[in-house]
Homo-oligomer: A and B are copies of this chain.
C-alpha cells in the first residue's frame, strides 16, 4: 500500500500504453486467418466469446461486448452466412436465444486461438506460475476498478 506512493506517473503512463499494445498485438496475430474467411476483429471477438461461453444468450453477448444490438446483429448475420453458428431457444423462456459455434466454427476458432495462444505461451515461457497469477490478478482488478 505504501509502496504505491512510489508509482510515478511515468510508470503509470507506461503501463497504460502497454495495456493498449498488448491488446492490439494479441488481437492482430490472427489477421491472416480472419482475412481467409473475410471477417474482422468484431467477428473474432464474438467467436472468442462463443468458444468461452457455449450457448451464451444474445443479451449476455451484448453486455460482454458493450456494443449495440444493431452492431452485434451485423456480425451474427455474417457468421450465419459463413455457416459457423447455430441457435437454440431456451426451453424455459423461449424469448432467449442461445448461440453456439458448430464444428466448422470451432475449427475456425482453433485456427485463431492457436496464434494468440502462441504469443501468450511465449510470454509465459520463462515466467513462474506466481508471476502469471499476479498478472491475472492485477488485470482482473483493472477490469473491476
Q: Which residues of B contact A120 (CB under 8 A)?
A: 12, 15-16, 142, 145
State whether the Cβ of A134 lies closer than 8 Å to any Cβ in chain B: yes
Q: Which residues of B contact A142 (CB under 8 A)?
A: 22, 25-26, 119-120, 123
* Copies in the assembly, this chain: 2
The A9-48 residues at the B interface (CB cut-off 8 A) are 9-10, 12-27, 45, 48
- Tell whether, in the assembled complex, residue B13 and residue A19 are in contact, meaning their CB atoms are under 8 Å apart: no
State whether the Cβ of A69 lies closer than 8 Å to any Cβ in chain B: no
Interface size on A (CB < 8 Å)?
Answer: 59
Task: Name the distance in Å between A139's Cβ and chain B's nearest Cβ.
Answer: 5
- Per the bound structure, the CA–CA distance linking A36 and B36 in Å amounts to 41
